[in-house]
């Protein structure tokens, strides 16, 4: 990192001496969580989002700036999406999906099957009627969001706490021990390209019976061809468990089974900087740790707001934990392995579109505008989402096919056969300091 900084500085010096101005922003020091995660091998840094807050501009300012992935906090749960049997309700979930995808953010669906937050009609069901109802639910919801949801939490929290290593007792569990794999198969049939995850809490400590039990389930699924692609560790620390020193072992052990690992609901009581940066460092050390999602933006948005567990305070200010996370992300050296598409776990399903990386090279700066070029690695057919900051505007592009979201500040650039580098000119419009951010790079 030091070496790279030195190279940038000396390049600027040389070019300045030759009469050309180049802005000295160092591409290795991203200034937002999502941009930095994207630079670490195409990872994602996301947040839970509540539809009710999308008209709070203090909230959306942070959301738009910092994150490249969202998880609807409550809007895709069973009680929200199927409040009456056979009557589906997608309004709030669709709002979040539309909000996110139009800005180039990826969506994690949460959650198709869960013992909790069931609508009244489902709570009262059992046996084969419940089995049929939950599989229909999985099929309908995954079909509705097909192509819009990158990862699904297919099954949430199916294991018991404590030392038993047993399944959690629930109406779903009582339909038969195979209910989890039946749900994964139904989701795979409905949306073959979505990455299908098992998600749980208290599976962070490698020595815990619950962690071991989930590990054995994933191992069994992989050995029998049950379509599972990822494991989500909720990681609600000190909401029952502390950050464990063997967390990295847990992440790498799951990854060694051939699944991606995601940190899906991260929050830590009182937001200690050390635990937050340890979590980031552990994820970056495991190339299949692809996503870190915090469970809310500001402390006031948190399900446990009295514990101030998040990265922004109630006024939207960055906390010390934010700086620790960004620094850990920026210092991470592991670029991951973006050229290997994630496994679908299902040999009959073609691999989903994978990730690539996109790196920014600052170009010439004039008084009113500047050029940027972007080089893509890991794919020949790609699309790269670039966000600029208002009131700046992109006025010209080259070597790609651009399209724009409704705001005009987010450009999706697709390869057009002219190579792996594209470029664009941005008008400053009075803001001479902001620079474009890479939101995502997708291979297709
Ligand atoms: O409980 C924390 C999380 C554990 N893992 C699964 C997650 O889905 C879960 O999220 C929380 C949400 O953060 C809460 O917002 O899940 C809770 C229960 O589904 C959510 O709480 C619900 C309340 O129970 C409702 O009374 C309330 O109307 O939030 C709703 C919206 O504020």
- Residue 265 CB less than 6 A away from ligand 1: yes
Alpha-carbon distance values, 390 to 312, 408, 426, 428, 434 (Å): 22, 9, 11, 9, 9
Residues with catalytic roles: 157, 265
- Residue 73 CB less than 6 A away from ligand 1: yes
Which residue, judged by its Cα, is nearest atom 13 of ligand 1? 303
Tokens 């947040």 identify what position? 47
CA distance 37 to 294: 13
Which residue, judged by its Cα, is nearest atom 31 of ligand 1? 74
CA of 74 to the centre of ligand 1 (A): 6
pLDDT at 442: 87
CA distance 71 to 75: 9
> Is a pLDDT exceeding 90 seen at residue 354?
no
pLDDT at 73: 98
Handedness of CA 60, 66, 70, 73 (dihedral sign): negative
pLDDT at 349: 30
Over residues 34-48, the pLDDT tens digits come to 999 999 999 999 999
Closest among 120, 122, 217, 226 to 167, alpha carbons compared: 217
- Residue 208 CB less than 6 A away from ligand 1: no
Closest among 290, 310, 322, 306 to 73, alpha carbons compared: 310
Task: Give 437's pLDDT tier (boundaries 50, 70, 90).
Answer: confident
What average pLDDT does range 418-433 have in this prediction?
87
What average pLDDT does range 287-308 have in this prediction?
98
Handedness of CA 20, 21, 24, 25 (dihedral sign): negative
> Is a pLDDT exceeding 70 seen at residue 12?
no
> Is a pLDDT exceeding 80 seen at residue 262?
yes
Choosing from 240, 295, 303 the residue with most ligand 1 atoms within 8 A of its CB, the one to mutate for a pocket test is: 303
CA of 75 to the centre of ligand 1 (A): 10
CA distance 124 to 119: 9
pLDDT at 335: 52
Over residues 171-206, the pLDDT tens digits come to 999 999 999 999 999 999 999 999 999 999 999 999
- Residue 117 CB less than 6 A away from ligand 1: yes
Tell me the whole-structure pTM to 2 decimals: 0.75
- Residue 53 CB less than 6 A away from ligand 1: no
Q: Which ligand 1 atom sits nearest the alpha carbon of residue 156?
A: 6
> Is a pLDDT exceeding 50 seen at residue 337?
no
Task: Give 6's pLDDT tier (boundaries 50, 70, 90).
Answer: very low
DSSP one-letter string for 275-326: HHHHHHHHHHTSTTEEEEEES-SBGGGSTTGGG--SSB-TTSPBPHHHHHHH
CA distance 93 to 101: 12
> Is a pLDDT exceeding 80 seen at residue 352?
no
CA distance 165 to 167: 7
CA of 303 to the centre of ligand 1 (A): 7
pLDDT at 13: 34
Ranking 81-85, 286-290, 437-441 by mean pLDDT, the lowest is 437-441
pLDDT at 334: 57
pLDDT at 28: 53
Over residues 355-390, the pLDDT tens digits come to 778 888 888 888 888 889 999 988 889 999 998 887
> Is a pLDDT exceeding 80 seen at residue 127?
yes
> Is a pLDDT exceeding 70 seen at residue 340?
no
CA distance 34 to 354: 17
């Amino acid at each position: 990192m030091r070496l790279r900084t030195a190279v940038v500085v000396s390049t600027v010096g040389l070019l300045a001496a030759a009469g050309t101005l180049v802005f000295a922003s160092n591409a290795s020091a991203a200034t937002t969580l999502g941009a930095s995660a994207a630079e670490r091998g195409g990872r994602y840094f996301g947040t839970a989002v509540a539809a009710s807050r999308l008209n709070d501009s203090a909230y959306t300012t942070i959301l738009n700036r910092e994150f490249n992935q969202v998880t609807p906090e409550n809007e895709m749960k069973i009680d929200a999406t199927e409040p009456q049997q056979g009557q589906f309700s997608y309004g709030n979930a669709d709002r979040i999906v539309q909000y996110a995808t139009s800005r180039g953010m990826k969506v994690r669906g949460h959650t198709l099957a869960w013992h909790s937050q069931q609508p009244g009609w489902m709570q009262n069901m059992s046996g084969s009627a419940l089995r049929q109802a939950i599989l229909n639910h999985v099929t309908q919801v995954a079909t509705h969001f097909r192509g819009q949801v990158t990862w699904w939490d297919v099954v949430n929290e199916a294991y018991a706490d404590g030392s038993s290593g047993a399944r959690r007792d629930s109406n779903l569990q009582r339909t038969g021990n195979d209910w989890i794999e039946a749900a994964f198969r139904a989701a795979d049939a409905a949306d073959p390209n979505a990455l299908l995850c098992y998600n749980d809490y208290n599976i962070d400590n490698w020595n815990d019976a619950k962690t071991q039990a989930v590990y054995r389930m994933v191992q069994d699924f992989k050995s029998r061809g049950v379509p599972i692609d990822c494991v989500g560790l909720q990681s609600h620390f000190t909401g029952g468990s502390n950050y464990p020193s063997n967390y990295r072992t847990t992440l790498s052990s799951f990854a060694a089974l051939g699944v991606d690992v995601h940190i899906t609901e991260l929050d830590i009581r009182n937001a200690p900087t050390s635990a937050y940066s340890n979590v980031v460092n552990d994820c970056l050390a495991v190339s299949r740790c692809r996503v870190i999602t915090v469970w809310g933006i500001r402390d006031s948005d948190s399900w446990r707001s009295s514990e101030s567990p998040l990265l922004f305070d109630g006024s939207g200010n960055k906390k010390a934990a934010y700086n620790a996370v960004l620094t850990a992300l920026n210092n991470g050296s592991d670029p991951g392995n973006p050229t290997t598409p994630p496994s679908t776990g299902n040999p009959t399903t073609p691999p989903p579109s994978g990730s690539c990386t996109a790196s920014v090279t600052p170009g010439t700066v004039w008084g009113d505008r500047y050029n940027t070029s972007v080089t893509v690695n890991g794919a020949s057919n790609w699309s790269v989402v670039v966000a600029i900051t208002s009131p700046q505007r992109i006025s010209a592009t080259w070597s790609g096919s651009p399209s724009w979201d409704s705001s005009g500040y987010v450009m999706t650039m697709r390869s057009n056969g002219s190579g792996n580098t594209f470029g664009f000119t941005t008008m400053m419009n009075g803001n001479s300091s902001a620079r474009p951010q890479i939101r995502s790079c997708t291979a297709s």
